[in-house]
Amino acid sequence: MLELFWLLLPLAAFSGYLIGRRGSERSSGAKFSQLSQTYFSGLNYLLNEQPDKALEVFLKIAEMDSDTFETQLALGNLFRRRGETDRAIRLHQDLYSRPKLSAEQRSIALQELGEDYMRAGLLDRAEALYTDLLSIGSQAPVALKHLIAIYQQERDWTRAIEMATKLDQLKGGGNALIAQFHCELAESARTQGATDDARRSAMQALRIDPKCVRARILLGRIERKSERMDLAIEHFEAAAETDPDFLPEVLPELLDAFEAQSACHQASEFLDRMLVRDRGVSAMLARSAMIERMQSRNEAITFLADRLHQRPSVRGVLKIIDLSFAGEQGNRAEAVGLVRELLHRLLDRKPGYRCNRCGFSPRALHWQCPSCKSWGSIKPVPGMAGE
């Protein structure tokens, strides 16, 4: 109900403007009087938190002034937002067919009709319409954005790359998006076992956007599967150093690659570098495990205790409990088990990832946010109860 209230406010404001304009043109007359009375009736419903009744009134105002282009646009948009796409399509088709429209108005009506088709799931019609709009210079950026959205829905990454490249040439700033599309091609090829194609697409993504963490992770996994561990290590390290928030995503595979190369010293150096930059606890936990294996459990406990004073972490506390109370028996073991269970419950309730654009919190990594549809905005959650 509250969403509908805010949706009606722009239409109410426009209706007031429209009536004011009509009033300046015709200070008297039955039509103006009727519009004025209807408008204030609708405004009264809106102020009294009766948006459903207000909606009916403002729709009536728009229908009474059927000759005004702006009014009909507002009415069509309202139909679309309410999910009445059939009515929106009919209205915008009728609007587009009017003979007295200017070229700019005609292109705007066509753009709105394309959005109606997209909302209705008629992607083929929307694609044809926006392809036509590309020939209108002023509408090309808008048409390209919609075509990119269509090809994303259809998972036609080659066409999406083509449109995104054209948009980048017009406006710039599209390298990160184009790189993500190449990564999608790489993921698809890797799933099908086409390793060379996957490698080429991931490398192309990296050439377009040298800071593309996803491309680095993909290349690391491709090279690890191909048993080229030196290259896998190079790519995984580069991914973590480009954006340390993604360290939890690459660290298990990176440590396996180090072990396959018998490169314990190189692994220790890498973890020491990441301890300074990692906002989470992955580097700290991995380094403590190495200290336990290569030195002693007590040294690992001391290392963790010092670090946890600086950076509190539930996962760190769990690890230090495991190291400190591994051999407990009887009542003490039961008490330690209860603490461990409570800490695990606390971790289970926390989302592992969060979109830094809209705040959506999935439990798995998505390269495109399912909520706001932005690319590369979801990361592991650092902090006390984070990763």
pLDDT over 80 (residue 135): no
The residue ranges of every structural domain in the chain are 351-387
Task: Determine the pLDDT at residue 33.
Answer: 46
- Which 3-state string (H, E, C) describes 122-161? CHHHHHHHHHHHCCCHHHHHHHHHHHHHHHHHCCCHHHHH
On whether the CB atoms of residues 258 and 233 are closer than 8 A, the answer is yes
Tokens of 312: 């509190």
**pLDDT score of 38 more than 70:** no
- pLDDT of 105: 78
Q: Is 193 exposed, middle or buried (0-12, 13-18, 19+ CB in 10 A)?
A: exposed
| Predicted local confidence at residue 11, as pLDDT | 47
Number of neighbouring beta carbons within 10 Å of residue 262? 9
The DSSP string of 161-215 is: HHHHHHHHHHH---HHHHHHHHHHHHHHHHHTT-HHHHHHHHHHHHHH-TT-HHH
Query: If pLDDT is split at 50, 70 and 90, which confidence band does 242 have?
Result: very high
Cα dihedral 231, 237, 243, 245 sign:
positive
Query: Over 60: is that where the pLDDT of 238 sits?
Result: yes
The structure's pTM equals 0.74
pLDDT at 219 over 90: yes
> What separation in angstroms does the CA of 359 have from each of 2, 247, 356, 369?
21, 21, 6, 10
Residue-wise pLDDT tens digits, 150-164: 999 899 999 999 999
